């Protein structure tokens, strides 16, 4: 804190809660009657704010699967579809993007850091790339791609 906002008297740190940043995913979301979603299925760096959002997307897809099974006569294979739709998205879109976000924030080499930020700025300045970036980072792309999996 002194390095960021120095003050004459040192900050009084009353509590420190370090946490370990994970990048993990289970090999299957569905085993028998046990179905995983959210952090129980995948955990990632908080950089980019993707964990909870990804978990909510899991919950939407899982709710659709349960409605189909309980009300519309679908069999257990609907849960396999839930796994096929959500697990690749978590692995390829959420975990990898969160890791890229974290790597950008952790970069200490000033030259490399400037290059990464310049790349982000160039994306922001280009409407087509900017829209593609927003669709990807908001995970709307992931939802659309998942819906195509049958
Ligand atoms: C610092 C930080 C910042 C973050 N920022 C963002 C962000 O900006 N945007 C974003 O999308 N995500 C963010 N996340 C991630 C987000 O917090 C998680 O992805 C989300 O909370 C996961 O929700 P969940 O319901 O799957 O799991 P959890 O929130 O972990 O909920 C699981 C619940 O189950 C309970 N539980 C555990 N074991 C048992 C048991 N045996 N019996 C009964 N209950 C039990 C726990 O107490 C807990 O309440 C952040 C995470 C961190 C650490």
pLDDT at 76: 92
Spans of the chain, pLDDT less than 70: none
pLDDT at 74: 94
Alpha helical stretches, state H, 27-138: 51-71, 77-89, 96-106, 110-125, 127-137
Q: Is 102 close to ligand 1, i.e. is its CB under 6 Å away?
A: no
| pTM for the model | 0.85
Mutate to test the pocket of ligand 1, among 34, 44, 48, 51 (most ligand atoms within 8 A of CB): 51
């Amino acid at each position: 804190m002194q390095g960021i906002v120095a003050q004459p008297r040192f900050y009084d740190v009353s509590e420190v809660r370090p946490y370990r940043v994970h990048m993990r995913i289970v090999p299957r979301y569905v085993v028998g009657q046990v179905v995983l979603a959210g952090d129980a299925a995948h955990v990632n760096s908080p950089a980019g704010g993707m964990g909870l959002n990804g978990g909510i997307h899991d919950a939407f897809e899982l709710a659709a699967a349960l409605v189909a099974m309980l009300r519309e006569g679908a069999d257990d294979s609907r849960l396999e579809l839930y796994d096929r739709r959500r697990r690749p998205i978590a692995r390829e879109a959420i975990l990898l993007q969160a890791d890229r976000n974290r790597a950008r924030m952790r970069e200490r080499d000033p030259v490399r850091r400037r290059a990464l930020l310049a790349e982000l700025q160039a994306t922001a300045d280009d409407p087509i790339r900017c829209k593609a970036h927003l669709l990807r980072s908001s995970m709307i792309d992931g939802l659309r791609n998942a819906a195509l999996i049958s």
